Structure 1
Amino acid sequence: MRKFMTLIAATSVALSSAMAAYAQDQNPLPKASDVLVRYGDDIEGWTVYANQTRGDCLIVRQDGPSAVQMGVTPNQEVGYLGVFTKEDIGLQNGKTSDIFVSIDGQLFKGVATSTSGELKGGYSGGYILTDDPKFKRAVAKRYKMTVFPETKGAFVVDLKGTYKAMAMGRKCLTQ
Structure 2
Amino acid sequence: MKLLEKAKEYAIEKHRNSNHTYDKYHYDFHLNMVFEIAKKFIYLVEPNEQENVLAGCWVHDIIEDARETYNDVKKETNETVAELAYALTNEKGRNRAERANENYYKGIRETKNAPFIKFCDRIANVTHSKNNGSQMFKKYKDENEDFIKKIYVPECEEISVYLKNLFNKNHKA
TM bin, normalised by shorter chain, reads under 0.3
Q: Which one has the bigger strand percentage?
A: 1
Bigger RCO (CA 8 Å, 6+ sep) = 1
Q: Which one has the bigger helix percentage?
A: 2
